[in-house]
Structure 1
């Protein structure tokens, strides 16, 4: 497997005779496409790259069909960061900044911040959990959350540079029979030697062989990661209906049409007055005007 074939793919693997599984991922064209319409500072691009790699790694461990959303909000310079990954590994991401980003790390940009992880199944109700902003990295914050809230031992190594990002995940599955009881301690120690350059530059086979040369690793079929924005005219229509007739009419009176720009892909939607008013019952409009 060459590096060209390794980029924008997730590679699941397990350690034989143990309860330890893993994923590794490299993002290149998919991350570039997801962020190409957003002028982000280099330091923030690195952070959003790590968040995106983490979202892909975590999504791949889920059994549900749907999507995982990582969202960070604060009253500091970094007001909002959102990354979404669907169960078929389609990604999109965005961030909003207030003023200049001072410093180079996530903690420098946050004030009264909160990280939320949301699971949105195709069928059923969404599940939301709060990720404590404890630790010196995105990886350590998510590791702590997975252990405390999900009771799953998880280790993450994340790297990002320019338009590329990469990550490695290890998990020890509970209540699994295993004959190699020391595997978890051994492989997380070995993985801890990985460098950012190795994560970003080495293909999956080479990376796993280098880190776990004496381990019995089984690598499964790779899964492609793609940038895809789910915004659509239907999404816009649903949003206007949720706003309600009074709010939509107020926008029309002020602007003549409703104009919406997607924060993720920058696509611009324009809904004229006739189309907008057609979304609501005529009796509701009559009640507002009399």
Structure 2
């Protein structure tokens, strides 16, 4: 099948349900091309990419949704950023050459946490803590939406080495369609198999599940991998680190090299670059202090 990185929203005419489907092929391959992940983490990170795309589909602001898993176990960090312009990126850190195929909570170990951050371009950022309930990401997010947003949600996620995909269903307030049909829509969704979610286009999948229902499928929105790193941002980070520490590193190693964890782009700063960053010769200052 051809690569297709698209998100499509839909709504039921006769049921109080809205939804979205996402399929990531080339965007997911861009992530995997930059780093090799153990199989359980590869699947989890793909599901996180699909889930963050689905959750950001209904946001009404310009900015970024960040989904982050962090702990002190075999899995130390997994993070996905999904932007309002329908671009996203992902990365992870783990301990060892492989990971066991166990529930997320066990992978994260002591102090494990899942955090969702909404970071608008204008206004203050907002964070929510997702309880580590259930064995996988989807039920965790369903519980979170029910408690924090009072929104009944069904989410189905799947990922393999080629594709990451997801289905989101959310119950609308009373007044739209038959209120008793939510359970029927969810029951049919529960028959969906992972291979169907990964292989079928939105129109075929919705027809297979809901051919007896009136479902309006909206135009596809293209998704893409994109990294927001830049030399300017790395320079800002070095300024925060301080002239003395940057000068010491350059004096010892000849330069500072920073690699983006998301895209592996490398940024190198030598003594001349550092002089421009700090408006003085940090390497000469370090040498003078030593003598």
TM category (shorter chain) comes to over 0.9
**Cα distance between partner residues in 2 of 1:100 and 1:30:** 25
Q: Secondary structure at the match of 1:36?
A: helix
Cα 1:287–1:276 shift into 2, 3 Å:
closer
Aligned residues, how many?
286
Matches within 5 A, 1:84-233: 84-105=81-102, 106-112=104-110, 113-174=112-173, 177-233=175-231
**Cα distance between partner residues in 2 of 1:223 and 1:179:** 26
Q: Is the 8 A contact 1:35 1:93 kept in 2?
A: no
User: How far is the alpha carbon of 1:34 from its aligned partner?
Assistant: 2.0
Segments of 5+ residues of structure 1 without an aligned counterpart are none
Residue equivalent to 1:36: 33
Using the size of structure 2 for normalisation, the TM-score is 0.92
**Cα distance between partner residues in 1 of 2:116 and 2:168:** 17
Q: Is the 8 A contact 1:17 1:178 kept in 2?
A: yes
Q: Secondary structure at the match of 1:119?
A: strand
Q: Cα deviation per residue 1:158-186 (whole Å; 9 max; x = unaligned)?
A: 01111311110001134x53232123222
The question of 1:63 aligning with 2:60 is answered yes
User: How far is the alpha carbon of 1:286 from its aligned partner?
Assistant: 9.6
Q: What is the RMSD computed on CA atoms of the aligned residues?
A: 2.0
Q: Is the 8 A contact 2:244 2:282 kept in 1?
A: no
Q: Secondary structure at the match of 1:147?
A: helix
Q: Is the 8 A contact 1:102 1:108 kept in 2?
A: no
Segments of 5+ residues of structure 2 without an aligned counterpart are none
**Cα distance between partner residues in 1 of 2:207 and 2:2:** 18
Residue equivalent to 1:26: 23
User: How far is the alpha carbon of 1:216 from its aligned partner?
Assistant: 1.0
Q: Secondary structure at the match of 1:134?
A: coil
The question of 1:45 aligning with 2:42 is answered yes
Q: Secondary structure at the match of 2:192?
A: coil
Q: Is the 8 A contact 2:152 2:170 kept in 1?
A: yes
**Cα distance between partner residues in 2 of 1:287 and 1:231:** 29
Residue equivalent to 2:258: 260
**Cα distance between partner residues in 2 of 1:193 and 1:264:** 35
Residue equivalent to 1:13: 10
Q: Secondary structure at the match of 2:92?
A: strand
Q: Is the 8 A contact 2:65 2:116 kept in 1?
A: yes
**Cα distance between partner residues in 1 of 2:59 and 2:161:** 28
User: How far is the alpha carbon of 1:142 from its aligned partner?
Assistant: 0.7
Q: Secondary structure at the match of 1:270?
A: strand
Using the size of structure 1 for normalisation, the TM-score is 0.92
